[in-house]
Amino acid sequence: MSRITLSKLAHSYSPNPKGEADYALKEMDHVWQDGGAYALLGASGCGKTTLLNIISGLVRPSHGRVLFGDRDVTDAPTTERNIAQVFQFPVVYDTMSVRDNLAFPLRNRGMDAAYIAKRVGQIAQMIGMEDILNRKARGLTADAKQKISLGRGMVREDVNAILFDEPLTVIDPHMKWELRTQLKSLHREFGHTMIYVTHDQTEALTFAQKVVVMYDGRVVQMGTPEELFETPAHTFVGYFIGSPGMNLLDADVTGTEARLGKVSVPLGAAYGPTSGRTQIGIRPDYVTISDQGLPVTVKRVEDVGRHRILRAEFQGQALNAILPEGITVPADPRVAFAPGKINVYANDWRVQPTDTRGGA
């Protein structure tokens, strides 16, 4: 087990990259702590899988280095890196029995037979397949095959990291919860570094201690679920995390105030001058509806079970708010923003307040 360092890492699939657009991954510097549970979150095609394949050694980065601990493994093949990877679709050896599938990575490394038997038993118990260990993998359902893949990823105890590439895509919803919970408890038990790629924010937020959000070949934020929620570093994070995503409104920010057309909103913190397109972001959870504040036009109200979502418009820009139970929409609806919960963005990136008097 070891720390994974990505140093000035970038990757382009074209041999002569000309501009930024040719890079599947833009230059990044990151350290993944040993024993961490990370989720790699982003929309399809943002470079998640490329990054994962670079860490596992299936793709050699065109720029920069990859370090495991202090060892530079940029040029080391997959087999030398001692990592495990679980793919999006089940990869099982059809003609082998479930037992042989699970034992395969250990046998290839010349492990002791007694140890293999013991380890396969443990894994089989974990994935709930003890009673079908002797069956051929071929006839099993996609669910079961993916569980074998997960088991095979988990069977080695000494791996540097276990990488999961959207492993639960083909699994039934109720099974997803169960497996995800098992992965978490395994992580607690064995302390492997786990990197979990997904485009499902629920999956990412429930699995990981740290969520790495990628957008257009860049890591835009690496933080705890709470940090992603409260202080998204990029408008994409604000929009992608949370349901519905963060409200973004064009504004002029001066000092502790933001001007939205004719009205001004207190920010709860002081900001220096901003350049480029300036927006303020506020989570729908921190927007309150009453008969005081900024006037909005209500479009509709959606009932999503736990609460209702108010879809409204403010000066022609969409604005969503969470309506707690028991609150009715007044005849002349107005909204107020919780001051400490407002973030300021210039050209999509979060601007650090110069002074947090309001206690953000």
Binding site for other proteins (CB under 8 A): 53, 56, 58, 77-79, 83-85, 87-89, 91, 93-96, 104-105, 108-109, 135-136, 138-139, 149, 152
Record the tokens describing residue 64, joined without a space: 């920069």
Closest by CA to 297, choosing from 333, 340, 339, 327, is 333
Instruction: Indicate the residue among 136 and 307 with the shorter CB distance to other proteins.
Output: 136
Q: What Å distances lie between residue 45 and 41, 130, 162, 258, 290, CA to CA?
A: 11, 38, 22, 35, 41
3-state secondary structure 304-338: CCCCEEEEEEECCEEEEEEECCCCCCCCCCEEEEC
Q: What is the DSSP string of 89-152?
A: S----TTSBHHHHHHHHHHHTT--HHHHHHHHHHHHHHHT-GGGTTSBSTTS-HHHHHHHHHHH
Record the tokens describing residue 67, joined without a space: 């370090």
Q: How far is the CB of 79 from other proteins (least distance, A)?
A: 5
**Coil, strand or helix: which one is 80?**
helix
How many CA atoms within 13 Å lie on the side-chain side of 107?
Answer: 9
Determine the Cα–Cα distance for residues 324 and 308; give it in Å rounded to an integer. Answer: 7
Q: What is the DSSP string of 150-210?
A: HHHHHS-SS-SEEEEESTTTTS-HHHHHHHHHHHHHHHHHH--EEEEEES-HHHHHHH-SE
CA 227 to chain centre: 12
How many CA atoms within 13 Å lie on the side-chain side of 136?
Answer: 4
Paired with 25 in beta bridges are: 11
Residue 352 burial (C-beta neighbours within 10 Å; 0-12, 13-18, 19+): exposed
Determine the Cα–Cα distance for residues 75 and 30; give it in Å rounded to an integer. Answer: 18
Record the tokens describing residue 58, joined without a space: 């299936």
